[in-house]
């Protein structure tokens, strides 16, 4: 039978303490050390006895030995931490063991305080005083707990085994960090196995973001993604950055009207760095506590994996982009042009390219310095990116040249866009300490039958040379050379090409 000390009695407002140790002398010693606190103390000689006592009464503090037979102090602490009715009870672990493994377990069992028994005389009372500061005694009524000690230990074991397995599966997602869409699909596929909510959303930030992945098991509107997104509070402007997987399940309802209902969101972080969020929607139901716990578990484990995804994306971007402007570099633009040409021919759609060159750029560098020149290039890059359509491709081709690939467009429309773009760049406010105005010359070429990527670029380049020769700050289109010729002398350049004397290369001398 458990023995209770008389100190403090069982008066209301008194902290109740459970001292657990298989050594009677150690228990008495611990009780003596706690006498100045006037606690109501209950003693237990084993972990099994301690768990049985929790079925009869409640406690504010447990002081337990680590090494005991059957149920150890570590297991006892895990039971307390895994039980919603007892997880906030203060817990102190004591050990006389010298082995590193035992001390490791003690430090990582979830206890509020871990002490070596040789330090108990000096440190136990101050540690307990610190733990109990600011607390108020718990209700002395027995909590609603059921099951034998063994059943409760088994339940906590299952609880922690589930956590370990889920966290292990999250770490396996590292195999998919090379592709953001695939990664999002795999995260939500895993989440759907352990979370019983009709709508799951993964929001990611980072170099490739912000993006959204949706897994819809409830009703979803066909052909109207924005309606579904609106019900899940995803901005309409993110439609192109949203990937949705519909996995209709009748138990979550049928039809096309999305009812998000109450949601629960858990942020994905590494230390203090926000990386995104995992969000679940209960639909017509409230998110279950088990689902909320699983969301927290997955989001917590995702931090390191998502950070790896972002590092992979950053590495890929460094290989694909220009360091000054952030646009695609020439190598990647060439690859994308080949892909867009193949797609245009496959789908019988139009494609045009525009070669843009800053007028008198060498003079800008000479007069205002290279820093001002860099700011001019960055401003043009920003304007190009903001002005062109989302599916168009903008790149820095080299020096002060920019290449724009207009996909699915006719030459007439591309010319209008290029003219407006030229006017926009000419009216863009410039940085302080730089030129008051800038202008660009643009050469435009349309993809025709049998024309290769290299030939298309060459046509745009030749059109750009004519724009320079005809006064700059203008758009010239490949194939219109014979309509009106400039009165400039044409001289032979290196490589045998015929280019106007007042051409692009002369412009930067």
Give the CATH number, domain containing residue 308. 3.30.450
Least confident of 54-63, 171-180, 450-459: 54-63
Does 482 lie in the same domain as 455?
yes
Tell me: pLDDT of 393 over 60: yes
Give the residue-averaged pLDDT of 64-86: 84
**What does the pLDDT look like over 325-346, one tens digit per residue?**
989 999 999 999 999 999 999 9
Tell me: pLDDT of 503 over 60: no
pLDDT reported for residue 189? 95
The confidence band for 4, taking pLDDT boundaries of 50, 70 and 90, is: low
Identify the CA nearest to 30 among candidates 53, 62, 59. Answer: 62
Q: Tell me, yes or no, whether 152 lies in a domain.
A: no
CATH of the domain at 475: 3.30.70.270
Tell me: pLDDT of 5 over 80: no
Does 116 lie in the same domain as 212?
no
Tell me: pLDDT of 493 over 60: no
Tokens of 334: 């060439």
Give 422's DSSP letter.
H
Give the residue-averaged pLDDT of 463-470: 95
Least confident of 76-85, 86-95, 361-370: 76-85
Identify the CA nearest to 475 among candidates 506, 437, 445. Answer: 445
* Boundary (domain end) residue, out of 91, 117, 146: 146
CATH of the domain at 100: 3.40.50.2300
* Boundary (domain end) residue, out of 318, 343, 366: 318
Contact 194, 296 (CB under 8 A): no
Q: Tell me, yes or no, whether 158 lies in a domain.
A: no
Give the residue-averaged pLDDT of 135-145: 67
Tokens of 50: 């301690």
Torsion angles phi and psi, residue 186, rounded to 5: -70, -40
pLDDT reported for residue 148? 65
Q: In whole angstroms, what is the distance from residue 120 CA to residue 66 CA?
A: 14
Give 440's DSSP letter.
E
**What does the pLDDT look like over 196-235, one tens digit per residue?**
999 999 999 998 889 999 999 999 998 888 999 999 999 9
Tell me: pLDDT of 420 over 70: yes
Q: Tell me, yes or no, whether 479 lies in a domain.
A: yes
Q: Look up the domain containing 365 and give its range.
A: 330-507
Tell me: pLDDT of 440 over 70: yes
Average pLDDT, the chain: 86
The confidence band for 143, taking pLDDT boundaries of 50, 70 and 90, is: low
**Between these two residues, 10 and 193, which has the higher pLDDT value?**
193
Least confident of 10-19, 22-31, 292-301, 447-456: 10-19
Does 382 lie in the same domain as 289?
no
CA quadruple 269, 271, 273, 277: dihedral, nearest 10: 10
Q: In whole angstroms, what is the distance from residue 213 CA to residue 205 CA?
A: 12
Give the residue-averaged pLDDT of 417-438: 82
pLDDT reported for residue 483? 55
Tell me: pLDDT of 355 over 50: yes
Tell me: pLDDT of 11 over 80: no
Q: Tell me, yes or no, whether 325 lies in a domain.
A: no
Give the residue-averaged pLDDT of 280-297: 91
Does 261 lie in the same domain as 117?
no
Give the residue-averaged pLDDT of 357-382: 91
Does 140 lie in the same domain as 205?
no
Q: Tell me, yes or no, whether 4 lies in a domain.
A: no
Tell me: pLDDT of 159 over 80: no
Does 267 lie in the same domain as 198?
yes
pLDDT reported for residue 502? 44
Distance of CA 441 to the CA centre of its chain: 41
Does 499 lie in the same domain as 390?
yes
Does 401 lie in the same domain as 266?
no
Does 184 lie in the same domain as 54?
no
Does 283 lie in the same domain as 227?
yes
Does 342 lie in the same domain as 423?
yes
Q: In whole angstroms, what is the distance from residue 52 CA to residue 69 CA?
A: 16
Does 339 lie in the same domain as 297?
no
Domain count, the chain: 3
Tokens of 103: 């001390």
């Amino acid at each position: 039978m458990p023995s209770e000390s008389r100190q403090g009695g069982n008066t209301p407002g008194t902290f109740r303490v459970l001292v657990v140790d298989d050594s009677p002398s150690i228990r008495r010693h611990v009780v003596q050390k706690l006498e100045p606190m006037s606690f109501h103390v209950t003693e237990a000689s084993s972990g099994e006895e301690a768990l049985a006592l929790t079925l009869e009464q409640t406690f504010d503090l447990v002081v337990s030995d680590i090494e005991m037979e059957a149920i150890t102090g570590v297991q006892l602490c895990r039971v307390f931490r895994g039980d919603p009715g007892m997880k906030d009870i203060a817990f102190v672990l004591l050990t006389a063991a010298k082995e590193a493994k035992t001390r490791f377990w003690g430090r990582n069992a979830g206890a509020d305080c871990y002490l070596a028994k040789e330090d108990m005389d000096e440190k136990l009372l101050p540690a307990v005083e610190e733990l109990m500061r600011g607390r108020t005694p718990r209700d002395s009524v027995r909590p609603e707990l059921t099951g034998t000690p063994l059943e409760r230990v088994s339940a906590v074991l299952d609880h922690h085994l589930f956590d370990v397995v889920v966290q292990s599966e999250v770490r396996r997602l590292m195999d998919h960090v090379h592709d953001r869409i695939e990664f999002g699909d795999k995260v939500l596929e895993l989440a759907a196995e352990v979370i019983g909510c009709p709508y799951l959303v993964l929001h990611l930030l980072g170099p490739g973001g912000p993006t959204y992945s949706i897994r819809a098991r409830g009703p979803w509107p066909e052909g109207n993604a924005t309606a579904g997104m609106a019900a899940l509070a995803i901005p309409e402007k993110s439609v192109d950055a949203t990937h949705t997987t519909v996995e209709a399940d009748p138990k979550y309802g049928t039809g096309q009207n999305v009812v998000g209902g109450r949601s629960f969101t858990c942020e994905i972080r590494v230390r203090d760095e926000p990386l995104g969020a995992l969000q679940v929607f209960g639909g017509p139901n409230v998110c279950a506590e088990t689902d909320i716990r699983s969301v927290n578990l997955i989001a917590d484990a995702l931090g390191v994996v998502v950070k790896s995804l972002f590092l992979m994306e950053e590495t890929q971007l460094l290989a694909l982009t220009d360091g000054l402007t952030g646009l695609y570099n020439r190598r990647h633009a060439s690859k994308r042009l080949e892909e867009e040409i193949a797609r245009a021919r496959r789908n019988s759609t139009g494609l045009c390219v525009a070669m843009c060159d800053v007028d008198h750029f060498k003079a800008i560098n000479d007069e205002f310095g290279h820093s001002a020149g860099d700011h001019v290039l960055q401003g043009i890059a920003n304007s190009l990116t903001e002005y062109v359509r989302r599916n168009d491709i903008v790149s820095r081709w080299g020096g002060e040249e920019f290449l724009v690939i207009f996909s699915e467009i006719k030459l007439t429309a591309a010319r209008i866009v290029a003219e407006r773009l030229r006017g926009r760049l000419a009216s863009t406010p410039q940085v302080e300490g730089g030129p008051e105005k800038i202008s660009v010359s643009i050469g435009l070429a349309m993809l025709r039958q049998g024309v290769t990527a290299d030939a298309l670029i060459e046509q745009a380049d030749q059109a750009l040379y004519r724009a320079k020769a005809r006064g700059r700050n203008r758009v010239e289109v490949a194939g219109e050379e014979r309509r009106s010729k400039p009165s400039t002398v044409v001289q032979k350049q290196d490589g045998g090409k015929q280019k106007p004397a007042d051409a692009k290369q002369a412009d930067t001398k």
